[in-house]
A and B are shown apart, each in its own frame.
Chain A
């Protein structure tokens, strides 16, 4: 575990040395604050539009950070040839995969904490309500989703040739699942066989990222998700991430490291 955490520490240091996070955070804060300053019909108690825009920006930023950071990890090690001394330490390939995963996931978690603190302060000062439990739940589910995304991108960084193609495909897949994943069963039922069975199988196989998107519950001040359901969803994310990481390890084990 020590080796894994040493590897992840390097990834976290890389996040705060690079400018991506700062730029995204400043942009999110700036856009939200400018929108917050807009006067709609002399009513300063309008807040939901602001929460919606802010959460959307947080989601976009977190996906950019997760995919951007993860996609370049292994290709950069190979390109700079630092993968060879790393594996000669000795560090096994399984540890490299796990170290990179935890590094990227913790880095996403750290940035997410800052984003959510900003959101909490913004909505609290405007709304004069502090639904902390709901925000904790939203954060936990969001972070669990990023775990699945990071593992998928890590697998992509071994399968695909370049970080750019990996990042693009990962974005398309993640956004596709977020927008369409929930409705694939509806689409499947409208198709003739064998398309029906194929689409339904895809529906059960894909990671259901949309479960982790509880923004609407926060924006519209709805109920808390049951804690049991929340834990079940996090367990689903853990199992799915482990499965994808195992697939990444299998692919990485057979991968030639020289370019």
Chain B
């Protein structure tokens, strides 16, 4: 019998491999949840992505501090959350902060300002991690590194965004990545459309997140001037908060107060004083500065009369 040429055998094997591939490919998606993944990163890293996401979120924080950041040896001093990244610095020269500061004090967010002031002091203290140099080498070495604590200002804030985007891609369930990015996009870079799009992506991954909804409402109200949409979104955020947090031992009261404040402000500007009063009354017992809210209530009550 005449032997087939090796090339024919190779062709036959290739055809078999291709046929088997077409048969197996649809079935592999059922074997492992990782195979369902939409992105390459998800397939490659699996659940390990969240570790990398933390790394990139930290990179954003380092960038926010212009490179002045505690190392692993000073980790006790490292910022524990990202609130300082969205805090308001009244001394900033670009004017936005003054406006935000004024807005916070005059339009129903006095607790927010008080909380921010306390947090800013603690943050300043925590970031003073270097201390005096211990020896001649350390003193000399500091001349080659960043030794002053400063936050990004104005348009420079855009530099944190790539890290936040990567962090969100790696861990889509890291809520604060979306809210922090949105804060900078809408407040400092004047890109509310991009902020909305990014928050929508976050909402798709985290449909029950009241934090994302609260931030989305702020985009509609403060930037896009779409009052009706803002109201709907904030009311939904309030419902989500009630479902998720009300049964907890230590609920996120500040989150609820912020949503209520936003709603009170919206209703007040729309002339619905009694609705605004209702929201403020709900916020008062939870607020860190109830006296300030009481003043707001008094002012509104006078308007209603």
Indicate whether A and B interact: yes
Give the residues in chain B near A185, CB-CB below 8 Å. 134-135, 137-138
> Complex Cα distance A46/B161, Å?
8
| Interface SS, B side | helix
Residues 127-147 of B at the A interface (beta carbon under 8 Å): 134-135, 137-138, 140-141, 143-146
Q: Is the CB of B191 within 8 A of A41?
A: yes
Measured between C-beta atoms, what is the minimum distance from B164 to chain A in Å? 9
Measured between C-beta atoms, what is the minimum distance from B42 to chain A in Å? 18
A214 in contact with B138 given A43-B158, A187-B73 (CB within 8 Å): no
A43, A203, A213, A217: residue with the most chain B Cβ atoms closer than 10 Å:
A43
Q: Is the CB of A43 within 8 A of B191?
A: yes
Measured between C-beta atoms, what is the minimum distance from A23 to chain B in Å? 23
> Complex Cα distance A211/B142, Å?
8
Interface presence of B180 (CB below 8 A): no
Of A12-20, A114-122, A220-228, A238-246, the segment with at least 4 beta carbons within 8 Å of chain B is A220-228
> Complex Cα distance A232/B143, Å?
11
Q: Is the CB of B73 within 8 A of A49?
A: no
Q: Please, what's the 1-or-0 string for A76-120, where 1 marks a CB less than 8 Å from any CB in chain B? A: 000000000000000000000000000000000000000000000
Q: Please, what's the 1-or-0 string for B159-171, where 1 marks a CB less than 8 Å from any CB in chain A? A: 1011101000000
Query: Among the listed B67, B162, B189, which residue makes an inter-chain contact with A49, where contact means beta carbons less than 8 Å apart?
Result: B162
Q: Is the CB of B191 within 8 A of A42?
A: yes
Measured between C-beta atoms, what is the minimum distance from A116 to chain B in Å? 18
Q: Is the CB of A217 within 8 A of B137?
A: no
Q: Please, what's the 1-or-0 string for B44-71, where 1 marks a CB less than 8 Å from any CB in chain A? A: 0000000000000000000100110001
Query: Among the listed B73, B140, B144, which residue makes an inter-chain contact with A186, where contact means beta carbons less than 8 Å apart?
Result: B73
Give the residues in chain B near A229, CB-CB below 8 Å. 140, 143-144
Interface presence of B198 (CB below 8 A): yes
Interface presence of A219 (CB below 8 A): yes
Q: Is the CB of B135 within 8 A of A216?
A: no
Query: Among the listed B67, B141, B144, B181, which residue makes an inter-chain contact with A219, where contact means beta carbons less than 8 Å apart?
Result: B67
Interface presence of A130 (CB below 8 A): no
> Complex Cα distance A233/B143, Å?
10
> Complex Cα distance A60/B215, Å?
40
Interchain Cβ contacts under 8 Å between A and B, 13 examples: A41-B158, A41-B198, A42-B191, A43-B158, A43-B161, A48-B63, A48-B159, A182-B141, A183-B73, A185-B138, A186-B134, A203-B137, A220-B146
A residues sitting closer than 8 Å to B (CB atoms) are 38, 40-43, 45-49, 141, 182-183, 185-187, 189, 203-204, 208, 210-214, 216-217, 219-220, 222, 225-226, 229, 232-233
What would 6 more interface pairs be, CB under 8 Å, given A41-B194, A211-B144, A222-B67? A41-B198, A48-B159, A49-B163, A183-B71, A211-B141, A216-B145
When A and B form their complex, which 3 residue pairs have the shortest distance between CB atoms, in order from nearest?
Answer: A216-B67, A49-B162, A183-B73
